[in-house]
Amino acid sequence: MYSNQWSVEDDAILIENGLQEKYDVCRWIDGNGMPCNQWVQDKDFSNHLRMHHGVGGAPSSQHRCRWEGCREREFNRDCLIRHLREQHLQWRWPCPHCSQDFTRKNTMFDHRDRNCPHRVV
C-alpha cells in the first residue's frame, strides 16, 4: 500500500529533480547579431548567462534582455534571470496537489500550503 501523505520536503525534491533534467536552447543574441543556440540544462542557466554572455556582477547591476525578439527594458541581474525563466524559457511550477501552474516557485509553495483546495491539512 502506498502513502499519499507528502511533506514539504518531498514536494521540493520532486520539483527540483524535475527541473534538473530539462534543457532549453539559449536564444541570447551575441555581439555578432546571432542567437547563441547552445543547449543549456535549466539548473545551469544562470551560470551560462554569466560565463558566456556577461550577465554577472552585483545583484543590482543593470543588464538589457538580449533574448531573440525581446523588447524589454533593462533589469537588475536577478530580475533579468527571473524574466528569462518566466517569459522566455516558460518555466512553470505545478502544484503537486492540483497541478495548477505558477511562474514562480515561491508562489506555488504559498498556494500549496495555504490556498490549494486539494491540500492535505
Query: What whole-number distance in Å separates Cα of residue 108 and Cα of residue 99?
Result: 10
CATH number, domain containing residue 91: 3.30.160
- Alpha-carbon dihedral sign for residues 47, 49, 54, 56: negative
pLDDT bracket for residue 17 (50, 70, 90): low
Domain count, the chain: 1
User: Does 2 map to a domain?
Assistant: no
pLDDT bracket for residue 8 (50, 70, 90): low
Q: Can you give the residue range of the structural domain that contains 106?
A: 8-115
> What's the one-letter identity of residue 69?
G
Find all residues with CB under 8 Å of 50, minimum gap 6, and list them.
56
Query: What are 99-119's pLDDT values in tens digits?
Result: 898 888 888 999 989 889 887
User: Does 39 map to a domain?
Assistant: yes
Give me the long-range contacts of 107-111 (CB less than 8 A, separation at least 24). 109/8, 109/11
User: Does 75 map to a domain?
Assistant: yes
pTM listed for this prediction: 0.68
